[in-house]
Structure 1
Amino acid sequence: MKVSPAFGEWLMGIPGRITSVSGLPINAQLKLAGNGVVPQQAEIAIRELLAILSADETEQAA
């Protein structure tokens, strides 16, 4: 039994972007969904990196 590509997208927070491409076999859809970046995870990483950079700039200015 295979996981539905639509379910994998839903779990990642990107519903309907990969599975809506016509002509892709289910294995290709699952591979694309599995290799994607979870948008919520990327946002947290960017926010934390920006906070670190901002703190570094503050320390250098002092």
Structure 2
Amino acid sequence: MGLPDGWVTDTPGLPRAAMLRALGNGVVRLQAATAIRHLHERAQADPATA
């Protein structure tokens, strides 16, 4: 996700639901960038199917 290992998971006593809440929408930018890169690569490989 782009954060150091244990950034949230090494917090003592923090339940899983709280870990996910702490991460929030932090993954959205990385997911969007990955999707755009993937679509761009597909379009470059075969413009007719993009």
The TM-score, its normalising length taken from structure 2, stands at 0.49
TM-score (norm 1): 0.41
Q: Which has the higher helix share?
A: 1
Q: Which has the larger radius of gyration?
A: 1
